[in-house]
A = this chain, B = another copy of it.
Amino acid sequence: MSEGPNIVRVAALIGDNARAEVLSALMSGRAYTATELADTAGVTKQTISFHLGKLLEAALITVEKQGRHRYFMLAGPEVASLLESLMGLAFKNEDGSRFTGPRDPALRKARICYDHLAGELGVCVYEQMLQNGIFQQHSGGLDLTEHGRAWFLRLGIDTDALASSKRPLCRTCLDWSERRHHLAGALGSALLTRIQERGWAKQEKDSRVIAFSASGEKALWAMLPPQSTLSVSGQTFTSQRSVDIENIQTIQHT
């Protein structure tokens, strides 16, 4: 018995209401103080301190001290990725009774996943970028193409500067609601930042929802024109994708 790493510790850590609430909140990519987290988790400060201690010890989150505040955040993309996987499984076996709030459709359309774009839109953008030859796939990863460099530069993102940081440039992350991949890594992060800076979308307060304006969404798609002729591997991708875009109905935010 007991082969392999010790799963129990990590899983048990996530398997508590208060802590899961904390982790979910941190999935927004934002850093929160202990009291804020206590509030969202619905427990007292003492209790949250206890939980945060445990999460820190297991290196699922990190702290940054600033004055008399301590800002907590997810330890890294791997943690976010694991949480998304968990959501995927949980979602599959959901009763349907839960998770039917008004947040739901907006969340599924576009949300933040740690620091990059997820949801229908995230997946769609990623696939469209591939179609446009911005990346080249190879075993176990992605490469930015020369054309891709130019594309990002047009958006005001200097990929060379990003590449010099420790963080891997392009990664993909599996989407729990879509069961397909979206762009993560330094580029995914930079892209979302740019989208927000340009005012195309805005992250809703205290939520993972990314709300796109109609014009913002239009502007984004304008940068990723459908490539009807450029069939990468003989699959019927283009038609499939355009259908996906049609299916994204615009959500009313209350």
A1–B232 touching, CB < 8 Å = no
A24 touches B3 (CB 8 A): yes
The interface bits of chain A over 198-220 (1 if a CB of B lies within 8 angstroms of the residue's CB, else 0) are 00000000011000000000000
CB neighbours (8 Å) of A79 from chain B are 89
Knowing A2-B21, A85-B82, the reply to whether A7 touches B90 (Cβ < 8 A) is yes
For A42, the chain B residues whose CB sits under 8 A away are 1
Complex contacts, A176 vs chain B, CB 8 Å? 4-5
Task: Report whether B138 and A98 are in contact in the complex, using a CB–CB cutoff of 8 Å.
Answer: no
Question: At the interface, yes or no: A130 with Cβ under 8 Å from chain B?
Answer: yes
Q: Which residues of B contact A31 (CB under 8 A)?
A: none
Interface: A157 (CB within 8 A): no
Contact B86–A10 (Cβ < 8 Å): yes
Minimal beta-carbon separation of A167 from chain B (angstroms) = 15
- Chain B residues contacting A41 (CB-CB under 8 Å) are 1
Chain B residue contacts of A9, Cβ below 8 A: 15, 90
* In the complex, residue of chain B having the shortest beta-carbon distance to the beta carbon of A145: B233
A1-27: contact bitstring with B at CB < 8 Å (1 yes, 0 no)? 111111111111111110011011100
* Interface size grouping (class) on chain A: 35 or more
Residues of B within 8 A of A126 (CB): 139-140
Report B-chain residues with C-beta under 8 Å of the C-beta of A17: 8
**A3–B207 CA distance with the chains assembled, in angstroms:** 8
Find chain B residues with CB under 8 A from A2 CB.
Answer: 21, 24
On chain B, the residues within 8 Å of A89 by CB distance are 10, 60, 78-79, 82
Q: Which chain A residues have a beta carbon within 8 Å of chain B's beta carbons?
A: 1-17, 20-21, 23-25, 40-42, 58-60, 78-79, 81-83, 85-94, 98-99, 103, 107, 123, 126-127, 130-131, 136-140, 143, 176, 180-181, 207-208, 232-235, 237
